[in-house]
């Protein structure tokens, strides 16, 4: 299946945003005040946006040929879990992180072990694994892929493992990044809870046969990724 993609230029996107902003500004003031968007809340001093502010959100939709879907059905006992580092929290765990850290620190603070300000560290861009996944698919038989979001490594990877099989994770095979250590130490969070909420430094997992281990590592290195053997299917 071939999909033709038309990419909007940055200037086009900005023009459309400006137009949308103009449309919003023309909304009758009385109607605007009635909306929950503008209603004041005595319990929340920051309960509405300034009239010059607006939100921008984005969504990525993918299409895949059904015959090429990697569904995990070929996964079997003994297969390896190859993990690839995350760049930070990615898009999960922010409610807990905000509650824990911002009660003690400011977003402009520098904390031992973290090079950036706390705010910059928390807002690190969610890494794209597109190039890596494409390279792996062209190099080895990728039996399963697990994007580590809410639910952690076990919660997400368990979804692609056939019934009757389980996961064995070697948690000591990589070092948890400093931002996760800070969250854990600040609130005395258990390892179990951390592993349920956060990616703990692993953003993507590929499931491959032991015979494909070396080729998987080589393919990853070719696109400047740092693969880690983090477990196996049992």
Is there a contact between 80 and 209 (Cβ–Cβ < 8 Å)?
yes
d(CA 197, CA 217): 28
Rg (CA), the chain: 22
The dihedrals phi and psi of 5, each to the nearest 5 degrees, come to -110, 130
Instruction: Give the chain's end-to-end CA distance (angstroms, integer).
Output: 35
**What CATH homologous superfamily does 70-233 map to?**
PurM-like C-terminal domain (3.90.650.10)
The pLDDT tens digits for 109-140 are 999 989 999 999 998 989 999 999 999 999 99
Q: What pLDDT band is residue 1 in, cutting at 50, 70 and 90?
A: very low
Identify the three-state secondary structure at position 91: coil
Is 36 a residue whose pLDDT tops 50? no
The pLDDT tens digits for 191-218 are 999 999 999 999 999 999 999 999 999 9
Question: H or E stretch including 185?
Answer: helix 178-187
Question: H or E stretch including 30?
Answer: helix 29-34
Question: How much of the chain, in percent, has pLDDT values that exceed 90?
Answer: 63
The pLDDT tens digits for 163-201 are 999 999 999 999 999 999 999 999 999 999 999 999 999
Is there a contact between 159 and 223 (Cβ–Cβ < 8 Å)?
no
Other CB atoms within a 10 A radius of the CB of residue 221 amount to 11
Confidence (pLDDT) at 187: 93
Confidence (pLDDT) at 118: 93
Structural domain spans, the chain: 8-58, 70-233
């Amino acid at each position: 299946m071939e999909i033709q993609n038309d990419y909007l230029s940055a200037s086009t996107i900005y023009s459309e945003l400006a137009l949308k902003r103009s449309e919003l500004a023309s909304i009758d003031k009385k109607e605007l005040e009635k909306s929950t968007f503008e209603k004041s809340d005595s319990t929340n001093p920051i309960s509405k946006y300034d009239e010059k502010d607006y939100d921008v959100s984005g969504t990525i939709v993918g299409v895949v040929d059904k015959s090429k879907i990697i569904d995990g059905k070929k996964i079997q006992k003994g297969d390896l879990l190859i993990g690839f580092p995350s760049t930070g929290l990615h898009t999960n765990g922010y409610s807990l992180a905000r509650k824990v850290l911002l009660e003690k620190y400011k977003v402009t603070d520098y904390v031992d072990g973290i090079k950036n300000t706390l705010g910059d560290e928390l807002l690190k861009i969610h890494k794209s694994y597109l190039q890596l996944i494409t390279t792996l698919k062209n190099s080895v038989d990728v039996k399963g892929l697990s994007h580590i979001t809410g639910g952690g490594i076990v919660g997400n990877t368990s979804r692609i493992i056939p019934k009757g099989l389980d996961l064995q994770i070697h948690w000591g095979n990589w070092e948890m990044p400093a931002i996760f250590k800070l969250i854990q130490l600040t609130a005395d969070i258990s390892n179990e809870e951390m592993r349920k909420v956060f990616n703990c430094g692993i953003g993507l997992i590929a499931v491959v046969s032991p015979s494909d281990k070396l080729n998987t590592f080589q393919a990853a290195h070719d696109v400047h990724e740092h693969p880690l053997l983090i477990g196996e299917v049992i």
